Amino acid sequence: MIRATLIAAALGICSVSSAAQNPAPTPTPTSPSPAVKPAQPSPAPKAKGAAPRVWRVNPPDADDAEPLRFDGLEIDARARRVTRDGEEVQLSQREFDLLEFFATNPGRAFSRDQLLDRVWGAPLADTSTVTVHVRRLRAKIEPDPERPRFIQTVWGVGYRFQP
């Protein structure tokens, strides 16, 4: 019994209490041994370079917030719904988060790095992610995506939401 316990402890399968060093009655197969404690499972290893997972939750005051309205564009944070001239616009979660961030900070210019940090939750190496999401968002909400009215490019800086 002691030999098996010591081998198991050496392999990291279980830990040995001080009671295992003193001979104890042999436990029955149905009862657990008081001398052996099961090892605690170790957390799964993280992938190298993986970004931390960010869980999006609407702020506490989002339940009280009225939908934001801008010249035919309506953003309802509670329902996570966007309509353009009364028609619902289907947005991905990230597109909605980006639009909501812009709309709650109107007139302010943000760099791609700032948007990655504030909307994605962590700075990523490739800022083209922001460029692609802005292009897709413009295609869905702008009357003319070639001449954007809401999400404007600020040359040398990034983007700005203009209500």
pLDDT, one tens digit for every residue, the chain (163 residues): 555 554 545 445 444 444 445 555 555 555 555 555 455 444 444 444 444 444 344 454 555 679 999 999 999 999 999 999 999 999 999 999 999 999 999 999 999 999 999 999 877 668 899 999 999 999 999 999 999 999 999 999 999 999 9
Instruction: Name the residue type at position 36.
Output: V
Confirm whether 55 is domain-assigned. no
Number of structural domains, the chain?
2
Domain match, 77 and 133 both: yes
What is the C-alpha separation between 102 and 134, in angstroms, rounded? 11
Confirm whether 149 is domain-assigned. yes
Domain match, 98 and 154 both: yes
Confirm whether 132 is domain-assigned. yes
- Taking the C-alpha atoms of 128, 129, 131 and 136 in order, what is their torsion angle to the nearest 10 degrees? 140
Domain match, 81 and 151 both: yes
Burial of residue 91, with CB atoms counted within 10 A of its CB: 0-12 exposed, 13-18 middle, 19 or more buried: buried
Confirm whether 89 is domain-assigned. yes
Domain match, 30 and 65 both: no
Q: Show the domain range for 92.
A: 60-161
Domain match, 114 and 73 both: yes
Domain match, 144 and 88 both: yes
**What's the confidence (pLDDT) of residue 14?**
45
Confirm whether 81 is domain-assigned. yes
Contact between 96 and 144 under an 8 Å Cβ cutoff? The reply is: no
Domain match, 22 and 73 both: no
Confirm whether 44 is domain-assigned. no
**What's the confidence (pLDDT) of residue 100?**
96
Cβ atoms within 10 Å of 107's Cβ, excluding its own? 8
Domain match, 107 and 138 both: yes
| pTM of the predicted model as reported, rounded to 2 decimal places | 0.62
Cβ atoms within 10 Å of 73's Cβ, excluding its own? 20
CATH of the domain at 82: 1.10.10.10
